[in-house]
């Protein structure tokens, strides 16, 4: 049976140097005169001033200007309830938490949301979910894709390197996620949306062609992460972006004494899962070598004991979510690789 699908994708996409200074112009062109702006608390100067200046210059009033420190559902609901009258757009500027909260406020208010990430540490800036905490636990809540995505590639290039490296980790996860999806089809008949899988898989190759952190590399990384978010919207699930490697990362978030950046956890887990899947390992290694991903991990290695627990916990994180870890003997094999794979050795301490 073919089910009719209706999706909404970003209408405005700007990925270029200097895009932050054009934010006001993009809003004004969209007919907005009053916007609510949610900015990451502690966002490095002069980025907040540049955003404010561009709004002022374009005659867009920031009717609310809020610094976001927490991404709990209660804060998002309160911000929605306090939206000033006449606000016609919600803007999120900065990193993960501010963008997740702004996305959810826009979703609750049925208002167009403009995502302005200032770093590329994961694919969340253009995904149809908001990652919020409920009673202290991280949850992925259904939301909507942004109306506008404004990525200033010069700003993202100059962000702390570990954040961009983390984005590479979240990107390579698409190899293992798509492979897990296909394994789920063969093992339990889970339908695969070919187009979403194709989009997700294809995005990595464009970055592979120029895996560097200059303006062009950052442009390709941003575009790839953005298209991953759209792939999730196309099929209505997180399958094209999230497989066994994400389950391990979720387990670490829940059990580790000090969870690390999402993309760093997911990237190492993707490498490990690619060994189990016997596919794409060479491509992942090529990307990790080119971007010095390994160095970022070795600078602050993971705990091997915590990973052993996370791998065991991973298959029970999401009900009915078949991945390579669901296959017989997979957990033992993953543990063996964790202890013996030479590339993983510098990534862990006992």
Residue 156 in 3-state DSSP? helix
Cα distances (angstroms) measured from residue 109 to each of 23, 84, 137, 243: 21, 11, 24, 31
Query: For 99-112, b where at least 16 C-beta lie within 10 A, e where not — what string?
Result: bbbbbbbbbbbebb
Q: Give me the least distance between CB of 137 and Zn ion, in Å please.
A: 17
In the complex with Zn ion, the residue whose CB is nearer, 170 or 233, is 170
In the complex with Zn ion, the residue whose CB is nearer, 60 or 184, is 184
In the complex with Zn ion, the residue whose CB is nearer, 193 or 249, is 249
In the complex with Zn ion, the residue whose CB is nearer, 62 or 167, is 167
Tell me the CA end-to-end span of the chain in Å, nearest whole number. 51
Q: Give me the least distance between CB of 170 and Zn ion, in Å please.
A: 4
Q: Give me the least distance between CB of 4 and Zn ion, in Å please.
A: 28
Q: Give me the least distance between CB of 97 and Zn ion, in Å please.
A: 15
What is the rounded distance in angstroms from the CA atom of residue 164 to the CA atom of residue 213?
Answer: 8
Query: CB within 8 A of 224, min separation 6: which ones?
Result: 171, 203, 204, 206, 207
Given the rule CB under 5 A, which residues bind Zn ion?
170
Q: For residues 93 and 37, is the Cβ–Cβ distance under 8 A?
A: yes
Number of other residues whose CB lies within 10 A of the CB of residue 227: 19
In the complex with Zn ion, the residue whose CB is nearer, 80 or 207, is 207
- What element of type H or E holds 16? strand 12-16
Q: Give me the least distance between CB of 169 and Zn ion, in Å please.
A: 8
């Amino acid at each position: 049976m073919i089910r009719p699908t209706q999706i909404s994708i970003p209408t405005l996409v700007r990925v270029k140097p200097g895009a932050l200074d054009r934010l006001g112009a993009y809003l004004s062109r969209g007919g907005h005169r009053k916007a609510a702006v949610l900015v990451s608390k502690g966002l490095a100067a002069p980025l907040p001033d540049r955003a404010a200046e561009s709004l002022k210059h374009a005659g867009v009033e920031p009717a609310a200007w809020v610094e976001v420190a927490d991404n709990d559902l209660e804060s998002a609901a309160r911000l929605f309830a306090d939206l000033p009258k006449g606000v016609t757009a919600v803007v999120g500027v900065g990193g993960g938490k501010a963008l997740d909260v702004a996305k959810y406020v826009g979703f609750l208010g049925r208002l167009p949301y403009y995502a302005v990430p200032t770093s590329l540490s994961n694919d969340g800036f253009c995904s149809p979910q908001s990652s919020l905490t409920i009673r202290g636990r991280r949850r992925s809540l259904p939301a909507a894709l942004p109306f506008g995505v404004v990525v200033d590639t010069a700003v993202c290039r100059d962000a702390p390197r570990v954040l961009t490296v983390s984005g590479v980790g979240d990107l390579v996860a698409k190899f293992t996620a798509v492979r897990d999806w296909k394994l789920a089809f063969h093992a339990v008949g889970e339908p695969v949306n070919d187009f979403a899988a194709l989009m997700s898989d294809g995005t990595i190759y464009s970055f592979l062609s120029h895996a560097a952190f200059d303006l062009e590399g950052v442009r390709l990384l941003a575009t790839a992460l953005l298209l991953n978010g759209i792939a999730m919207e196309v099929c209505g699930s997180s399958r094209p972006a999230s497989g066994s490697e994400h389950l391990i990362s979720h387990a670490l978030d829940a059990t580790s004494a000090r969870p690390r950046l999402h993309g760093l956890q997911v990237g190492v887990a993707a490498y490990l899962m690619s060994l189990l899947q016997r596919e794409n390992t060479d491509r992942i290694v090529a990307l990790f070598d080119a971007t010095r991903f390994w160095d970022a991990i070795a600078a602050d290695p993971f705990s091997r004991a915590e990973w052993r627990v996370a791998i065991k916990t991973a298959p029970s994180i999401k009900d009915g979510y078949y991945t390579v870890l669901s296959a017989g003997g997979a957990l033992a094999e993953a543990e063996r690789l964790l202890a013996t794979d030479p590339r993983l050795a510098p990534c862990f301490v006992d």
